[in-house]
Structure 1
Amino acid sequence: MFTNNDSTELVTASQNSFFMTEFHVQRMSAQVKLSTVEEFTVRAVINGWWLALLINAADLVIALIFISRLRILEDVTV
């Protein structure tokens, strides 16, 4: 049979475990948020590199078209 003291200890133990669980949940969610921010940063950097490569490729294509048109004009004028 439980005494009054036993039930108080049970309530205190369950409250402590609840607060510890709540603390761990908050801590884990903070770590998840941090890793989400890190993941977002990494994705932004990777997307930035891809965007820079695409822009450079587009510039290269434009330059090649310009050079080929100059050669055509050069052939026509000569």
Structure 2
Amino acid sequence: MGIEGEPLIYEPCPCCGYRTVEESAGYDVCPNCYWEDDGNDDPTKYSSVNHLTLQQGRDNFKQMGASDPAYIDIVNKHPNKYLKA
């Protein structure tokens, strides 16, 4: 039995940088940091779907492993299963 087709190459999450997003700006939620990719790549612009700026999400991820403290218990605890962009 073989595998057919092309492998799916994920896009990097704008918040954590791991390849977890199927389509950039497709409103996918990253299982690694729980950032919803709304297409905003300006770190200073407020994201209405995430309720904070991308820079705040990045800082939160570096400090606690989630884009927002509210998601600390539901994010993936094994980020090494994803490729870093």
TM-score relative to the length of structure 1: 0.18
- Bigger radius of gyration, 1 or 2? 1
Greater fraction strand: 2
TM-score relative to the length of structure 2: 0.17
Highest RCO, 1 vs 2 (Cα 8 Å, sep ≥ 6): 2
